[in-house]
């Protein structure tokens, strides 16, 4: 969104040279803050993501090609990193995930270095042989080719999403033990009721408290809808009159209570 705002020139251009240099320095400071001050305890993505994004936006909007910041970010290694940055963004995470999957453990310092080198190499190749040829063929980005490509992409994405939904999450990709646990998610007990536990904050009517209920042959147990670390809680049993069929109030989860004959 920030890039769109800059691209649409919604922010007035900064014409004062000193102000432009200050804006660029501020942007560099924000990026440095994200690099060196953020840690594993930093909530990311979130509000913290605005820090590097605003920093990059400040540098772009400042347009200080001849200033100190402009010359600093124009050195060849940084220019190369910026050219492959999008490909690196796309490729680094799959490489990390599959490396962990193959090795079966967290990455050692040697593996981390190897992953970085592999990510840079793949990103450079992707930029050179995919991004650059695609961007140079601008006829691909207009008219029927663009529309056909967009329709094909949406169709494939929708098809893959439908496959995942209809198969219940592609459980076949999981080991047998994981599939057994996954299948338990869809178990239905004898007391299952449609719509039960769909609105856990809904409160049902109170249970009967008349004196006649104390000598009843029926006992009614209700299940609390407050699912917490202690699990499901059975409340105190209440006796119902012999001549009255057990009432069927819904509890706070919208579930009908189970009734059991009293054992005497």
pLDDT higher than threshold 90 for residue 112: yes
Last residue of a domain, one of 74, 97, 127: 74
Q: What rounded mean pLDDT belongs to the chain? A: 75
Q: Domain for residue 34, yes or no?
A: yes
Write the DSSP string, the chain.
-HHHHHHTT-SPPP--HHHHHHHHHHHHHHHHHHHHT--TTS-TTTGGGHHHHHHHHHHHHH--TTSHHHHHTTSHHHHHHHHSHHHHHHHHHHHHHHHHHHH-SPPPHHHHHHHHHHHHHHHHHHIIIIIHHHHH-GGGGSHHHHHHHHHHHHHHHHHHHHHHHHTTS-GGGS-HHHHHHHHHTT---TT--TTTTS-TT---PPPP--GGGGG-SEEEE-B----BTTB--B---EEE-TTSPPP----TTS-PPEEEEPP-
Residue 32 lies in a domain: yes
Domain boundary among 53, 74, 95: 74
Domain count of the fold of the chain = 2
pLDDT of residue 98: 92
86 pLDDT higher than 60: yes
Categorize the per-residue pLDDT at 168 as very low, low, confident or very high, splitting at 50, 70 and 90: confident
Q: Domain limits at 69?
A: 1-74
Single pTM value for the model: 0.51
Domain edge (last residue) among 40, 74, 108: 74
pLDDT tens sequence across 26-44: 999 999 999 999 988 888 8
* Residue 261 forms part of a structural domain: yes
Lowest mean pLDDT among 47-51, 94-98, 149-153: 149-153
Determine which of 33-37, 168-172, 254-258 has the lowest per-residue pLDDT on average: 254-258
Residue 173, domain member (yes or no):
no
Q: Is residue 97 part of a domain?
A: no
pLDDT surpassing 70 at residue 246: no
Determine, yes or no, domain membership for 96.
no
Residue 56 domain flag: yes
Whether residue 165 lies inside any domain: the answer is no
């Amino acid at each position: 969104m920030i890039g769109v705002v800059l691209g649409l020139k919604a922010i007035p251009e900064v014409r004062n040279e000193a102000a432009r240099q200050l804006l660029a320095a501020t942007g560099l400071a924000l990026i440095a803050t994200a690099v060196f001050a953020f840690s594993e305890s930093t909530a990311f993505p979130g509000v913290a993501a605005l820090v590097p994004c605003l920093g990059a936006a400040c540098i772009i909007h400042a347009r200080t090609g001849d200033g100190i910041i402009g010359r600093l970010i124009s050195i060849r290694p940084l220019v190369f990193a910026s050219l492959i940055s999008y490909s690196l963004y796309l490729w680094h995470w799959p490489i990390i995930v599959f490396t962990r999957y193959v090795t079966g453990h967290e990455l050692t310092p040697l593996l981390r270095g190897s992953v970085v080198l592999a990510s840079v190499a793949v990103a450079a190749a992707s930029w050179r042989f995919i991004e650059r040829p695609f961007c140079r063929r601008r006829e691909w980005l207009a008219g029927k080719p663009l529309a056909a490509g967009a329709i094909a992409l949406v169709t494939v994405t929708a098809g893959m999403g439908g496959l995942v939904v209809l198969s219940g999450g592609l459980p076949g990709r999981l080991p047998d033990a994981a599939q057994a646990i996954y299948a338990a998610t869809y178990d239905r007990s004898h007391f299952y009721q449609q719509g039960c536990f769909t609105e856990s904050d809904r409160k049902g009517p109170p249970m009967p408290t008349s004196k006649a209920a104390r000598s009843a042959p029926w006992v009614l147990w209700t299940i609390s809808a407050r699912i917490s670390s202690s699990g499901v809680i059975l409340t105190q049993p209440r006796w119902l009159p012999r001549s009255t069929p057990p009432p069927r109030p819904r509890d706070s989860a919208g579930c009908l209570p189970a009734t059991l004959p009293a054992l005497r």
